Amino acid sequence: MIFNETKLKGAYVIDIEQRQDERGFFARSWCRREFEAHGLNPQLVQCNISFNARIGTMRGMHYQVKPCEEAKLIRCTTGSIYDVIVDIRLDSPSFKQYLGIVLTPGNYKMLYVPEGFAHGFLTLEDNTEVFYQMSEFYAPDHAEGFRWNDPAFGIKWPSNVQVISERDKSYPDVDF
């Protein structure tokens, strides 16, 4: 795997290293030793699939607060997404900054999201599936979020939101 640290400290775009032959290729998509060597949380306790039937589906912006903060490793397995993370660590030099990246099955990129970040995505195609690996169990009492269009962050989304849950569209403005 090739680990590319982003402008947001601790967040990485990870590319696979393909070992090709006449059959196609083989590649590692997760390795505890490699994650530890880069100082990333290697603990995996839960994997999730998010299936989204329609283009323009918004999920986010979500995070869990202490003591249930979570790291995530995200990959798009069908369709495509514009994946966004926001640094919400109060003591971080990149506090309130965001990073957006397109994830597709064909670009084989993964996004590592460390603890202390919010995460969300917008589907760019119908029938899009996203696979998450999580370092912490889902804890509803510690789950929080903010609106995808909260002016405090100025996130520039590539297209319009067509489908969004009532919860995601009713988050209040941030107050941190």
Give the separation between CA 30 and CA 22, rounded to whole angstroms: 24
Q: One of 62, 108, 142, 171 is an active-site residue; which one? A: 62
Enclosing H/E stretch for 164:
strand 163-164
Please list, in sequence order, all residues whose beta carbon lies within 8 angstroms of the beta carbon of residue 172, skipping any fewer than 6 positions away.
Answer: 146, 147
Give the separation between CA 154 and CA 111, rounded to whole angstroms: 20
Active site residue 38: no
Give the separation between CA 88 and CA 16, rounded to whole angstroms: 28
Q: One of 38, 108, 132, 171 is an active-site residue; which one? A: 132
Active site residue 171: no
Known catalytic residues are 62, 132
